[in-house]
Each structure stands twice: as C-alpha cells, then as structure tokens.
Amino acid sequence: LANRINIVISKSEFSSNKPDYMYDTIKDFIDNYLSHINTTSTKVFIIGGKQLIEDVIYNYLYMIDKIYYSIIR
C-alpha cells in the first residue's frame, strides 16, 4: 500500500509484492521492529488469521488500545 510500511508475519515464504519487512513471529516483530520506533505516535494494524490474532491478544493485549473486529461468514 502506498505511503505505508508493509510488514508480513509468516513462517511461510512470501514471494509476491515483497513487503518492507518480514518476521517469522509477532514476538520477532515486537522485539526487532517496535523497539526501534516511537510507538506512541505510530499506528500499527495487525491483520491476520486466527493463530496470529490469538497470539497478539493472549500475549500482547496490554499494547493494544483499539480493536477493529470483522465477522466474515
């Protein structure tokens, strides 16, 4: 997406439209990327599947100030 930093969190190869950054786990992302930016003025949107979202909610809920939730039927 234009004017955004695109980060992919996946243990699988990602070949189309290379992201700006790629991490294997949300922990790697937090430890290596978030620790180097000003998180009070930077919005981070996590879009993912069940496993990624559960990992974020169960382990990093204290870092979340807003959740946008969609139900897909």
Over residues 42-60, the pLDDT tens digits come to 777 888 888 988 999 999 8
Q: What is the pTM of this model?
A: 0.70
pLDDT exceeds cutoff 70 at 14: no
Q: In sequence order, which ranges of 18-60 are alpha helices (DSSP H)?
A: 26-32, 50-60
Reading the block at residue 68, the tokens are: 């946008």
Q: Please tell me what DSSP assigns to residue 9.
A: E
Q: In sequence order, which ranges of 11-49 are alpha helices (DSSP H)?
A: 26-32
pLDDT score at 15? 66
pLDDT score at 35? 73
The residues facing 37 across adjacent strands are none
The residues facing 21 across adjacent strands are 7
Contacts of 15 (CB under 8 A, 6+ apart): none
